[in-house]
Amino acid sequence: DIVMTQSPVSLPVTPGEPASISCRSSQSLLHGNGYNYLHWYLQKPGRSPQLLIHLGSIRASGVPDRFSGSGSGTDFTLRISRVVAEDVGVYHCMQALQTPYTFGQGTRLEIK
């Protein structure tokens, strides 16, 4: 199975400041079609996960442009340019290149 490792586990951020989350995979997530099968989700407290970024860097519909994804192969980053209160929750990366699809352990973003 592909192992996904996120860091940090906990991320306290002052509103208006940037934030960055790392996600590493034990194998390359680069598909033969040139896309990385790496997706980012935000799970707000008490809610189901919601898709933020797919294929490594493409924002899902309705996702604010303060969110961006980058990386390729085994090394990926989710960035928030300026954190706001509604960004609180747990961020998960997921690989969907091969089954079983696997998730990182999650990064809990909290407001300082």
Residue among 73 and 106 whose Cβ is closer to another protein:
106
Phi, psi torsion values for 33, nearest 5 degrees: -85, 5
Number of residues that bind another protein (CB under 8 A): 26
Taking the alpha carbons of 10, 27, 56, 97 in that order, is the dihedral positive or negative? negative
Stretch that binds another protein, among 10-18, 35-43, 67-75, 81-89 (CB under 8 A): 35-43
Within its chain, how far is the Cα of 26 from the centroid?
A: 16
Comparing CB distances to another protein, the nearer of 19 and 94 is 94
Is 27 a residue that touches another protein (CB under 8 A)?
Answer: no
7 binds another protein (CB under 8 A): no
Q: Which is nearer to another protein, 60 or 88 (CB)?
A: 60
The footprint of another protein (CB under 8 A) covers: 31, 35-37, 39, 41, 48-51, 54-55, 58, 60-61, 92, 94, 96, 99-106
